[in-house]
Each structure stands twice: as C-alpha cells, then as structure tokens.
C-alpha cells in the first residue's frame, strides 16, 4: 500500500468537498441577497460537476471570476476552521464504526440458528444421503 498516494487522493477528495461546501454556503447567501445570481450559480453548478473542483473552478473562471474568488475565500476559511479537528474526528469515527461492525460480526458468528432452521438443515442433509 502506498500511504503517500492514499494521502494525496484523500486530500484531493477533501479539497473537492470543501469546494462543494463553499458553493453551498455562497448559494445560501446569494439566495438571500441576490436571487438572480444564486439562480445563475445553481444552474452553472448543475451543468458542471463539483466532483472535480479544479475543473469546476476553471470553467467558472471563464464566466465569473468574482465568484471564483468568493468560492476560494470561503473554502479556505472552511479549511482553516475544520482541518484542525479532522484527524481526531476521522480516527474516533472509524474506531466507533469498526467497533459497531465487529460487534455485529461477533453477534452473527455466535448466534445459533433458530430451531426450525436447524431441523430444516438436518432434513436437507438427510434427504441428500
């Protein structure tokens, strides 16, 4: 496993997601202050995928440089507020999730089948003999 590559890909996904959150924030703000511009940005965002934030910003730059600057400012602010907490939140979230699924697996491994299912299984094995 190439940890550096995994870290780079994770950082890219996080950057794309922060861009998405920045666009959502700006759409909320524009909906209150400039509905026409909010409608334009919503339509633009429907036509251009935010899954690749760099391609999205490149396309937006050709039409509205002011919105690109605003998105970059908001996503940078989001990153500053979120990234300090993220490593511990990810670690603890994964630990909780793993514990839950380990318990589920253990519970399923230790369950005995219902009595009627045991009878059916023994009947099936007797029928094949």
pLDDT by residue (tens digit) across 52-106?
999 999 999 999 999 999 999 999 999 999 988 888 898 999 999 999 999 999 9
At 128, the pLDDT band (50, 70, 90 cuts) reads low
Average pLDDT, the chain: 90
N-term to C-term CA, the chain = 48
Contact by Cβ (8 Å): 113, 121: yes
- Quick one: pLDDT at residue 118? 57
The confidence band for 35, taking pLDDT boundaries of 50, 70 and 90, is very high
Indicate whether 122 pLDDT > 80: no
Residue 39, pLDDT > 60, answer: yes
Q: Read off the pTM.
A: 0.75
Domain ranges of the chain: 1-84, 86-129
Q: Enter the CATH code of domain 1-84.
A: 1.10.1200.210
The single residue listed with the structure tokens 């890909």 is: 9
Three-class DSSP category at 35: helix
Residues whose CB is less than 8 angstroms from the CB of residue 57 and which lie 6 or more positions away in sequence, other chains included? 19, 68, 71, 72
């Amino acid at each position: 496993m190439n940890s550096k590559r995994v870290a780079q890909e994770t950082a890219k996904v996080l950057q794309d997601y922060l861009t998405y959150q920045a666009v959502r924030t700006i759409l909320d703000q524009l909906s209150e202050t400039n509905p026409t511009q909010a409608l334009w940005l919503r339509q633009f965002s429907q036509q251009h995928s935010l899954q690749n934030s760099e391609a999205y910003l490149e396309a937006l730059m050709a039409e509205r440089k002011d919105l690109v600057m605003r998105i970059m400012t908001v996503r940078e602010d989001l990153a500053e507020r979120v990234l300090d907490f993220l490593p511990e939140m990810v670690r603890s979230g994964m630990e909780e999730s793993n514990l839950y699924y380990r318990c589920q697996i253990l519970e399923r491994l230790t369950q005995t089948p219902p009595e009627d299912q045991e009878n059916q299984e023994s009947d099936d094995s007797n029928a094949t003999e």
